[in-house]
């Protein structure tokens, strides 16, 4: 029985102002952790065109048949909407989220609405129509125990506009001081050759699972399977325990 290909996306390197690790460090970490792919999404506003070419070059240098580093950018668009562009070949000058997402997909990349909780779990219908996915589970904002219920509701609404859109989970990793929290698994058979095209093909069609510490789900099935009472109860218990911890530690 073949093992699934595992990896993480929404990862920032030292090409971002708030990234702490080099591409080499992240590649070494991935191999030590048993990950076969890492999706880099450095902040677009921090990179000049030569910087982006350097990012792509370093990703290629630190990729092999066992682990692939996939270059990408995170775009800050109007309305403080952030779009992840994974597997893109060049920068995009527009700050219109619809234009950005459309251009990412035109390049054969993966266009993802990042951490929607920062925008009150809202997404304009015209943007939903051109996205591949919504990051309904962001480990940095949502924890690694269970996805937020509002993210699931947003995905359900987005599917009313775009029936092919799916949910995805991101690590939003800026350093190695915490574990990624949310991992993606691609179902494979036999000895599949691992490269960026293969990973992006699976991710772009929603053929993967999103895995946290206690919860895992198929990217395409998430609204139907994860809105049941057990998940609702688990999420509410997590939110209550987090609130108690924050009060105890004086964080609010």
Alpha carbon distance 112, 97 (integer Å): 11
Instruction: Kindly give the parts of the chain with pLDDT less than 70.
Output: 1-2, 189-192, 222-252
Q: What is the DSSP letter of 173?
A: B
The pLDDT value recorded for residue 252 is 47
Q: Is 189 helix (H, G, I), strand (E, B) or coil?
A: coil
Closest by CA position to 105, among listed 169, 7, 200: 200
The pLDDT value recorded for residue 55 is 97
Per-residue pLDDT tens over the stretch 131-147:
999 999 999 999 888 88
Token couple for 67: 């682990």
The pLDDT value recorded for residue 172 is 97
The pLDDT value recorded for residue 229 is 46
The pLDDT value recorded for residue 173 is 97
The pLDDT value recorded for residue 1 is 42
The pLDDT value recorded for residue 146 is 84
Alpha carbon distance 38, 188 (integer Å): 17
Q: Write down all domains in the chain, each with its CATH number in brackets.
A: 5-222 (3.20.20.140)
Cβ contacts of residue 243 below 8 Å, gap of 6+? 252
Per-residue pLDDT tens over the stretch 205-235:
999 999 998 888 889 876 555 555 455 555 5
The pLDDT value recorded for residue 223 is 56
**How do strand 209-211 and strand 37-40 relate by DSSP bridges?**
unpaired
The pLDDT value recorded for residue 105 is 97
3-state secondary structure string across 111-144: EEECCHHHHCCCCCHHHHCCCCEEEEEEHHHHCC
The pLDDT value recorded for residue 133 is 98
Which helix (H) or strand (E) segment is 24 a member of? helix 23-33
**How do strand 166-170 and strand 183-186 relate by DSSP bridges?**
unpaired
């Amino acid at each position: 029985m073949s093992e699934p290909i595992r990896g993480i996306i929404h990862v920032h390197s030292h090409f971002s102002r708030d990234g702490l690790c080099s591409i080499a460090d992240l590649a070494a970490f991935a191999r030590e952790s048993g990950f076969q792919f890492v999706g880099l999404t450095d902040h677009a506003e921090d990179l000049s065109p030569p910087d982006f070419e350097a990012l792509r070059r370093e990703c290629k240098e630190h990729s092999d048949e066992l682990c692939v580093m996939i270059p990408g950018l995170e775009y800050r668009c109007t309305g403080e909407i952030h779009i992840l562009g994974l597997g893109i070949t060049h920068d995009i000058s527009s700050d219109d989220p619809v234009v950005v997402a459309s251009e990412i997909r035109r390049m054969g990349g993966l266009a993802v609405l990042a951490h929607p909780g920062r925008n009150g779990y809202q997404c304009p219908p015209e943007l939903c129509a051109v996205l591949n996915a919504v990051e309904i589970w962001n480990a940095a904002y949502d924890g690694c125990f269970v996805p937020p219920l509002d993210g699931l509701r947003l995905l359900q609404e987005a599917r009313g506009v775009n029936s092919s859109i799916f949910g995805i989970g991101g690590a939003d990793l800026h350093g190695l001081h915490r574990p990624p929290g949310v991992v993606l698994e691609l179902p494979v058979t036999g000895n599949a050759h691992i490269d960026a095209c293969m990973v992006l093909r699976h991710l772009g069609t929603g053929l993967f699972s999103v895995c946290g510490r206690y919860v895992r789900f198929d990217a395409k099935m998430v609204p139907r399977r994860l809105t049941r009472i057990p998940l609702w109860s688990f999420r509410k218990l997590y939110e209550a325990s987090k609130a108690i911890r924050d009060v105890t530690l004086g964080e609010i």
